Amino acid sequence: MQMPKTTPITIQQAVDLSLTENLVPPVIHVKQYDHGARRIGCSLYQDSILFTVPEGVIINVTGTRSDGNVFQYSSEADPEIVYTENGCVYLTITDIMTANTGRLPVDVTLLDGSGAAVGSFSFTLRIERAALENEGLTKASYSGTVSRVAENMVECSINDDGYLCIESDDGLGLSFSMDGEGKITITYNEEEASG
């Protein structure tokens, strides 16, 4: 399956799924904080023949996260998240899907214009834990982090030892200190982080 490209940096995963065979749902690995950066393209097969999703079909995507919360997207209400293109179903990963790590069962139902089910398939998202539990810092570039700290700076001072100290209400939970050689050390305080 060839994945159409909408942006050069989108991570695109292709998966082949059957509408008719009783198969174990495939596991698709994603990462926390992949919001908008990853999309899954589903080629559908009916009796081992490539099925082209007809125009006008409504795609309904539902899932249950590991914390028990449910999400639902529809091509009617959320066409930027779930849609068809070239006869295939596409789903963009959102932060609601990846908020919790673990296995997330996902059902996709194809509905005709009257709301009757035309077909359905399932897969499992395996949400891998991010290295940091700080989404703001995980998604920030170095220059973005420095800008965020500078824009929210509360105080900049020199301590009793003559080192530069910066206090910022940026929500990242970072503390900055400078040693005698001018090297800056950044430490993370989880209690101060709001993401």
Kindly report, residue by residue over 147-160, the tens digit of the pLDDT.
777 787 777 777 77
Confidence of residue 190 (pLDDT cuts 50, 70, 90): low
Query: b/e per residue, 114-148, with b = 16+ CB within 10 A?
Result: eeeeebebebbbebeebebebbbbeebeeeebeeb
Q: What is the pLDDT of residues 44-97, one digit of tens each?
A: 888 888 888 888 899 999 999 888 889 999 999 999 999 998 888 999 999 889
Confidence of residue 7 (pLDDT cuts 50, 70, 90): very low
pLDDT at 132: 67
Q: What is the pLDDT of residues 60-72, one digit of tens each?
A: 999 998 888 899 9
| Residues forming beta bridges with residue 31, ordered by sequence position | 128
What is the residue-averaged pLDDT of the chain? 79
What tokens appear for 161 in the block?
Answer: 């030892």
Domains, the chain, in order of start with CATH, read: 11-128 (2.60.40.3350), 135-192 (no CATH)
**Is-contact 123 25, C-beta < 8 A?**
yes
The model's pTM = 0.64
190 secondary structure, DSSP code: G
Confidence of residue 115 (pLDDT cuts 50, 70, 90): confident
Q: What angle do CA 24, 94, 73 make, to 5 degrees?
A: 70
Which amino acid makes up residue 10? T
Strand order in the sheet with 174-178: 153-158, 164-168, 174-178, 184-188
